[in-house]
């Protein structure tokens, strides 16, 4: 357990967090002791622990009392504030983020895990500090709480929580006020000598980050009793109980650490579940003895006899969150195969793990394996997928259940991929399961193989297996990957020595081939990676997925590589644009490491066409790919003064052409490694520039940057400026600044300022930008300030503050705003700031926007 500061030093640490004087906080503590609010205790050794209740008292005193002498009265008044009714509508102060989601998704919004109903302000603050102190619930506080606000000008306080309202993410203010018969503090009561001093009576806001930091300095009681668990949802209480039991096991500390991490995974997963709507739930797929839920994803234009991939999530994850993290549906769109996502239910496992360790759930024709088998049968019957091309993959508990499915139903699956998992039948029960993941279980290859052969009457052929594991994984010991290899090498009748060893994207890859040269087993060891799946997020054809807890951006996509190992990328993908882009990427950069049939077919075509035709083909493919990704990939170069025309890497295009023609060695295209030290692509690029071919295009961004008007930068409108060479810009240079106000200069009512530009979109457009906002609307519960992004008048992103202040002190990147509904159209992109005040008191909205990028567009908006 971490060493927590005792009470005598807690005030000094608290002063540092709040930015207050240490002497001031020490004096407030003295007042608390002398008044009898807290019992006296020695300084130094033997000092009482700083409990959450003690921290709440001192925190209220520091935030609410304008002067030291008023500390005790402030604590007694503010801790007794009563909660007002919270109605997430009407005039409740709130901040709204993003456009409203579809009605179906809005109806399935997650229930808050934190329950503080009926508690007074002091009790609620102490409970939040307890939650922040406990490892297994700290992430819940970070995910649901926005901050704490105390108003010194009147006895009012509020806890601001993230929530959902009418299909949008929002921050609501849970307000606490005086009881009907209570008196305000003396300094606020004129009848008791109170004198109004505007310099002292302001609102003090404590962000959740600092509250968690304070909570981590407190100490729970020795028996670990946590009254706040009664205020939590059943899921968090179950996790806490598991941590309590695990503390008595030899692996208690590691188990508690894993549970703490799983809490953050769950928080992210629930956030995705509230937004994700790509998957469709299917019912009535069979007897379902494992009581699982079935979700599917079918890309548009799914061909007949398409492959099927079964994807199994990890603990506290869901089908939707695992899909978003791994990017499987993105790959399905590109290459035309179906997806099946079995989902565990909370009442089956308190962590929503698949029960791979229970005998009733790891045997053929029983429990969860049979439910998944019935789902596969439903997919084959309803969508005519190819029963000979069914594959299964999963991470963590999903990886362990993948091993169960491959062993229990080897006739169903042509291949599988186990990510951060364990061998089949490595545990019987939870205790053995913990021992397996934390220390591993070693058996001989024959012993492992016999467990698989005994799991079904199947005699072969056996599924192909891909094994992935990070060598820094502390949740599932990496030795489990080697035991999986031993198990399936014996099943396939292979030697333990790999046939081929290589490095792919800098990571070791081993391959075990059969007698005919077919790759039957592959293994990737991701050096330096912790628990989870390996990802390479991005818009390139070999990239997919979203970095998140248990989804690690390490520069290699396990999803893409696994699909390639199974041969799912060898055929023509569902969308020809994706196939052309992927072929270009393989030709230009990964010919040495990609072993899929598609890469070989592309290279063979290039060789057969001859040097000139191959060069032209590669030039066209590389140009198309870079035009689509120009802004995302080239914005930094443009800011540094690069002269790439429209963001195109001419040097790279020429390199790709020469590589495809066999005149330049493939690789990463560093100039220093050109043949004989001569930079052939650079010479050609320079020659083109000298001939004036590139001059007009290359100077186009620079001329726009030199012009100080929005019009010359492509924007039209009022109330916005294009700021040049501003040090506050995201990375220096220029940025957009908009300002709107109401309630000042005798003007009230709605005021809005906007700028727009026309953009021609391609088939898969997306928007990204970075921003900083200052929305001041805390005049009353009806005033508002907002920032919105619109496409053809439809809101695609928004932040609105109603009766509150919302400030973003750091740049925030908004990425992957989906514009698919506007595909293949010429649209108007609009940025708008707006303010509304109903009285003569200023309400304003300020926005700083930079790096506006529309991917897959003909005209890219860029500051």
Q: How would you class 395 by CB atoms within 10 Å of its CB: exposed for 0-12, middle for 13-18, buried for 19 or more?
A: buried
Residues 788, 726: Cα–Cα separation, whole Å: 23
Residues 21, 13: Cα–Cα separation, whole Å: 11
Q: Which of 269, 396, 578, 635 is catalytic?
A: 396
Residues 206, 155: Cα–Cα separation, whole Å: 17
Q: Tell me whether strands 308-312 and 338-343 are parallel, antiparallel or unpaired.
A: parallel
What 3-state DSSP class applies to 280?
strand
Residue 320 tokens read as 């939707």
**Ordered strands of the 390-395 beta sheet:** 280-282, 293-297, 338-343, 308-312, 390-395, 415-419, 464-470, 519-526, 507-513, 500-504
Tokens 């089956």 -> residue: 348
Q: How would you class 610 by CB atoms within 10 Å of its CB: exposed for 0-12, middle for 13-18, buried for 19 or more?
A: exposed
Contact predicate 530/470, CB 8 Å = yes
Residues 342, 285: Cα–Cα separation, whole Å: 11
Query: Length of the chain in residues, anyone?
Result: 863
Tokens 């060789």 -> residue: 607
Contact predicate 390/376, CB 8 Å = yes
Helix ranges (DSSP H) in 293-341: 319-326, 328-335
Residue 741 tokens read as 């106000």
Q: Tell me whether strands 464-470 and 415-419 are parallel, antiparallel or unpaired.
A: parallel
Q: What angle do CA 142, 147, 152 make, to 5 degrees?
A: 160
Residues 149, 121: Cα–Cα separation, whole Å: 11
Residues 211, 208: Cα–Cα separation, whole Å: 5
Residues 767, 738: Cα–Cα separation, whole Å: 19
b/e map 184-219, b = 16+ CB within 10 Å: bbebbeeeeeeeeeeeeeebebbebebbbebbbbbb
The backbone region for 660, taken as left when phi is positive above 0, alpha when psi lies in -120 to 50, beta otherwise, is alpha
Residue 364 tokens read as 């053929």
Residue 273 tokens read as 């579940």
E strands present in 133-199: 145-151, 156-165, 168-177
Q: Which residues contact 491 (CB under 8 A, 6 or more apart)?
A: 449, 452, 453, 462
What 3-state DSSP class applies to 367?
helix
- In the chain, the largest separation of any two C-alpha atoms, in whole Å, equals 97
Reduce the secondary structure of 79-119 to three states and give it as a string.
CCCEECCCCCCCCCCEEEECCCCCHHHHHCCCCCCCCCCCC
**Residue 397 among the catalytic residues:** no
Tokens 């493919």 -> residue: 621
State the virtual CA torsion across 210, 213, 215, 217 in degrees, nearest 10.
Answer: -140
Active site residues: 396
């Amino acid at each position: 357990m971490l060493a927590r500061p005792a009470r005598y030093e807690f005030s000094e640490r608290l002063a540092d967090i709040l930015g207050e004087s240490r002497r001031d906080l020490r004096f407030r503590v003295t007042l608390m002791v002398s008044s009898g609010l807290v019992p006296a205790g020695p300084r130094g050794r033997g000092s009482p622990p700083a409990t959450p209740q003690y921290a709440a008292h001192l925190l209220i005193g520091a935030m609410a009392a304008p002067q030291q002498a008023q500390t005790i009265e402030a604590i007694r008044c503010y801790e007794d504030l009563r909660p007002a009714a919270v109605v997430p509508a009407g005039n409740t102060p709130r901040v709204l983020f993003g456009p409203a989601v579809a009605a179906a998704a809005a109806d399935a919004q997650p229930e808050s895990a934190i329950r503080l109903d009926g508690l007074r302000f002091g009790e609620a603050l102490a409970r939040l500090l307890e939650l922040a102190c406990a490892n297994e619930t700290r992430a819940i506080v970070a995910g649901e709480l926005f901050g704490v606000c105390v108003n010194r000008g009147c006895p009012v306080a509020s806890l601001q929580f993230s929530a959902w309202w009418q299909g949008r993410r929002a921050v609501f203010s849970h307000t606490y006020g005086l009881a009907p018969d209570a008196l305000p503090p003396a300094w606020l009561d004129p009848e008791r000598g109170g004198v109004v001093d505007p310099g002292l009576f302001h609102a003090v806001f404590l962000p959740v980050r600092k509250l968690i930091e304070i909570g981590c300095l407190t100490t729970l009681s020795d028996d670990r009793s946590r009254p706040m668990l009664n205020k939590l949802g059943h899921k968090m209480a179950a996790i806490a109980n598991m941590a309590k039991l695990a503390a008595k096991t030899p692996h208690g500390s590691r188990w508690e650490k894993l549970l703490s991490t799983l809490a953050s995974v769950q928080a992210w997963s629930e956030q995705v579940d509230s937004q994700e709507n790509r998957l469709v739930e299917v019912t009535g797929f069979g007897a379902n003895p494992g009581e699982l839920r079935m979700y599917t994803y079918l890309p548009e234009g799914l061909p007949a006899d398409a492959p099927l991939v079964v994807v199994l999530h990890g603990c506290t994850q869901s089908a939707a969150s695992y899909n978003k993290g791994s990017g499987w549906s993105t790959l399905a769109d590109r290459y035309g195969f179906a997806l099946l996502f079995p989902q565990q239910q909370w009442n089956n496992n308190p962590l929503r793990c698949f029960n791979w360790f229970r005998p009733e759930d790891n045997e053929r024709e029983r429990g969860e394996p049979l439910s998944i088998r019935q789902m596969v049968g439903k997919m084959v019957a309803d969508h005519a997928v190819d029963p000979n091309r069914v594959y299964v993959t999963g991470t963590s508990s999903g990886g362990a259940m993948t091993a169960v499915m491959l062993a229990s139903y080897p006739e169903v699956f042509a291949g599988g991929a186990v990510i951060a998992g364990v061998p089949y039948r490595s545990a019987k029960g939870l205790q053995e399961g913990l021992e397996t993941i934390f220390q591993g279980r070693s058996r001989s290859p024959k012993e492992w193989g016999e467990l698989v052969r005994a799991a079904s009457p199947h005699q072969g052929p056996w599924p192909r297996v891909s094994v992935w594991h990070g060598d820094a994984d502390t949740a599932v010991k990496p030795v489990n990957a080697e035991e999986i290899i031993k198990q399936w090498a014996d099943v396939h009748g292979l030697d333990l020595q790999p046939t081929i060893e290589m490095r792919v994207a800098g990571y070791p890859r081993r391959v075990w081939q059969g007698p005919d040269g077919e790759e039957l087993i592959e293994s990737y060891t991701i050096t330096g990676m912790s628990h989870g799946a390996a990802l390479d997020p991005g818009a390139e054809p070999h990239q997919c997925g979203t970095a998140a807890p248990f989804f690690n951006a390490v520069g290699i996509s396990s999803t893409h590589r696994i699909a390639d190992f199974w041969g799912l990328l060898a055929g023509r993908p569902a969308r020809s644009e994706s196939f052309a882009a992927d072929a270009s990427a393989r030709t230009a950069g990964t010919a040495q490491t990609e072993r899929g049939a598609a890469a070989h077919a592309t290279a063979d075509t290039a060789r057969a066409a001859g040097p000139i035709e191959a060069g032209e083909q590669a030039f066209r493919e590389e140009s198309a790919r870079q035009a689509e990704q120009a802004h995302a990939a080239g914005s930094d170069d443009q800011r540094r003064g690069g002269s790439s025309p429209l963001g195109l890497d001419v040097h790279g295009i020429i390199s790709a052409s020469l590589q495809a023609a066999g005149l330049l060695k493939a690789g990463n295209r560093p100039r220093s490694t050109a043949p004989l030290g001569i930079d052939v692509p650079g010479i050609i690029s320079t020659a083109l520039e000298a001939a004036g071919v590139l001059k007009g295009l290359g100077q186009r961004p620079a001329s726009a940057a030199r012009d100080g008007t929005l019009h010359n930068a492509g924007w039209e409108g009022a109330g916005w400026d294009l700021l040049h060479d501003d040090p506050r810009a995201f990375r220096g240079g220029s940025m957009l600044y908009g300002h709107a106000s109401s309630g000042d200069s005798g003007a009230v009512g709605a005021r809005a300022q906007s700028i727009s530009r026309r953009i021609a979109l391609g088939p898969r457009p997306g928007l990204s930008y970075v921003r900083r906002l200052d929305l001041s609307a805390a005049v009353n519960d009806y005033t508002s300030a907002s920032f919105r992004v619109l496409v053809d008048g439809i809101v695609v992103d928004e932040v609105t503050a109603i009766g509150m202040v919302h400030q973003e002190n750091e740049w925030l990147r908004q990425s992957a705003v989906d514009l698919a509904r506007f595909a293949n159209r010429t649209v108007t992109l609009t940025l708008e700031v707006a303010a509304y005040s109903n009285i003569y008191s200023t309400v304003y909205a300020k926005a700083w926007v930079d790096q506006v990028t529309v991917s897959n567009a003909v005209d890219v908006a860029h500051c």
